[in-house]
């Protein structure tokens, strides 16, 4: 069966088309578009008109590609930006009217975390008790797990776009701005710290997104798009994060393997990742290139078995 998954993220919309069976998921097409649905007013829970129109237009283009590949099942999954927006239901309605056949499913943070776990598990990257971290634009999901089961999960409204709009007001980011972010994280993540104390994960797995950027900048010989997972050397990550956090916007624009969309949000991602490493006392980091959308596909594969 040919299936398509659309992941309507806060920063980027992804389309992935695959041939799925009870035993295999074979990707036949994938693309992404930096829609920036959370532009401007994400912390006010509004999708601004320009972002609204970009999102609808992108879905129209995705629908054409889905029809071209004669897809039999399409799942469009919306996360933080749509579920928290006062006009999120208007966006869902507009997308359905202008893209016949695409119905958007707005999922909650728990379901989002479950799909992320399914995707990361499919890479085989989970060893021992692990903490999965998926930094989105609107929310960040944390999952404590092993390769047999999901032990604990929670989604927090501390995505990179939210934190950037609220706290990133200097170039390079000032100690004052960094302190404000860390204070906010300390207030928000008390139950994550308790869960880490209880389950004692010793391995941080970053799910796609910013972690693909970290890995690309560190593992220069590796083609990230061709792998499922890879270790990220701890000392190399620490050096890179320090470089990113202390650099100016102009300097980051000229860094190899740092895409335009992440030039500023990567600073937030590094501060957030550093905080999690400190909070959990983890010293081992890996990348999983599989995330929510792959988790949805693998869930469909399981349904067929």
> What is residue 300's predicted lDDT score, i.e. its pLDDT?
84
255 & 142 share domain: yes
Boundary residue ending a domain (107, 134, 153): 107
Domain boundary among 54, 75, 107: 107
The three-state secondary structure class of 189 is coil
β-strands 2-8, 73-78: how paired? parallel
Q: Are residues 265 and 177 in the same domain?
A: yes
What pLDDT is recorded for position 62?
96
Q: Does the predicted model carry a pTM greater than 0.75? A: yes
Dump the DSSP string for 39-97: TTTGGGT---HHHHHHHHHHHHHHHHHHHHTT-SEEEEEE-HHHHH-TTHHHHHHHHHH
- Count up the domains in the chain and report the number: 2
Q: Are 224 and 216 in contact (CB under 8 A)?
A: yes
Q: Per the domain annotation, does 101 fall within a domain?
A: yes
Q: Same domain, yes or no, for 79 and 139?
A: no
Q: Coil, strand, or helix at residue 33?
A: strand
Same structural domain for residues 52 and 161?
A: no
Q: What is the DSSP string of 194-240?
A: HHHHHH---EEEEESTHHHHHHHHH-TT--GGG-SEEEE-HHHHHHH
Cβ atoms of 135 and 210 closer than 8 Å:
yes
287 close to 229: Cβ distance less than 8 angstroms: yes
Query: Cα dihedral sign for 201, 203, 206, 207?
Result: negative
d(CA 40, CA 52): 12
Tokens for 150?
A: 């999901």
Separation CA 167–CA 284 (nearest Å) = 28
Q: How many C-beta neighbours within 10 Å does residue 64 have?
A: 9
Q: Is residue 49 part of a domain?
A: yes
Write out pLDDT tens, residues 28-54: 999 999 999 999 899 999 999 999 999
CATH code of the domain containing 98: 3.30.420.40
200 CB-near residues (< 8 Å, 6+ apart): 129
Residues 250 and 147 in one domain: yes
Query: Three-class SS of residue 275?
Result: helix
Say which CATH number the domain at 147 has: 3.30.420.150
Residue 33 located in a structural domain: yes
pLDDT in the model for residue 100: 64
Domain boundary among 52, 73, 107: 107
d(CA 162, CA 10): 10
* Token pair belonging to 65: 């590609």
Domain of residue 165 covers 125-292
Phi, psi dihedrals of residue 144, rounded to the nearest 5°:
-100, 130
> Same domain, yes or no, for 54 and 138?
no
Answer whether residue 302 is part of any domain: no
Q: In this structure, is residue 120 part of a structural domain?
A: no
One domain, residues 223 and 133: yes
Considering the domain architecture, whether residues 44 and 188 belong to the same structural domain is answered as no
Residues near 80 by Cβ (< 8 Å), separated by ≥ 6? 10, 38, 109, 136, 137, 138, 139, 155, 157, 159
In the structure encoding, which two tokens stand for residue 223, read together? 């083609």
Residue 161 lies in a domain: yes
Q: Is residue 27 included in any domain, yes or no? A: yes
Terminal alpha carbon distance of the chain: 12
**Run means of pLDDT, 10 residues per run, the chain, 305 residues:** 96 95 90 94 94 95 96 95 95 86 91 97 94 97 96 97 96 98 98 98 97 95 89 98 98 94 96 98 97 93 61
Residues 149 and 25 reside in one and the same domain: no
Give every CB contact of residue 110 below 8 A, 6+ residues apart in sequence.
153, 154, 155
Say if 305 falls within a structural domain: no
At 302 the pLDDT is: 66
Same domain, 147 and 257: yes
Is residue 26 domain-shared with residue 136, that is, in the same domain? no
Residues 143 and 57 reside in one and the same domain: no
Nearest to 114, CA basis, from 160, 90, 138, 79: 79
């Amino acid at each position: 069966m040919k299936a398509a998954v659309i992941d309507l993220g806060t920063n980027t919309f992804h389309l992935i088309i695959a041939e799925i069976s009870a035993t295999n998921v074979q990707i036949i097409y994938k693309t992404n578009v930096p829609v920036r649905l959370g532009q401007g007013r994400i912390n006010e829970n509004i999708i601004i008109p320009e972002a609204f129109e970009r999102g609808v237009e992108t879905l129209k283009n995705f629908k054409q590609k889905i029809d071209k590949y004669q897809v039999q099942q399409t799942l469009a999954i919306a996360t933080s930006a749509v579920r928290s927006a006062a006009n999120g239901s208007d966006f869902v309605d507009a997308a359905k009217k202008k893209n016949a056949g695409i119905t958007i499913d707005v999922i909650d943070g728990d379901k989002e975390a479950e799909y992320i776990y399914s995707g990361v598990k499919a890479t085989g990257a989970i060893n021992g008790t692990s903490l999965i971290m998926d930094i989105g634009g609107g929310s960040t999901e944390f999952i404590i797990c092993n390769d047999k089961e999901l032990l604990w999960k929670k989604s927090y409204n501390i995505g990179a776009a939210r934190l950037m709009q609220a706290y990133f007001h200097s170039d390079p980011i000032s100690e004052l701005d960094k302190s404000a972010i860390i204070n906010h994280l300390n207030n928000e993540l008390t139950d994550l710290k308790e869960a880490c104390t209880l389950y004692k994960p010793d391995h941080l797995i970053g799910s796609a997104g910013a972690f693909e950027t970290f890995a690309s900048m560190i593992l220069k010989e590796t083609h990230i798009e061709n792998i499922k997972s890879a270790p990220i050397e701890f000392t190399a990550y620490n050096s890179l994060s320090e470089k990113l956090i202390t650099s100016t916007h102009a300097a980051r624009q000229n860094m190899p393997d740092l895409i335009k969309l992440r030039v500023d949000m990567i600073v937030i991602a590094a501060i957030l990742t550093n905080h999690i490493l400190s909070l959990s006392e983890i010293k081992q980091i890996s990348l999983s290139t599989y995330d929510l959308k792959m988790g949805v596909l693998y869930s469909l594969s399981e349904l067929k078995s």
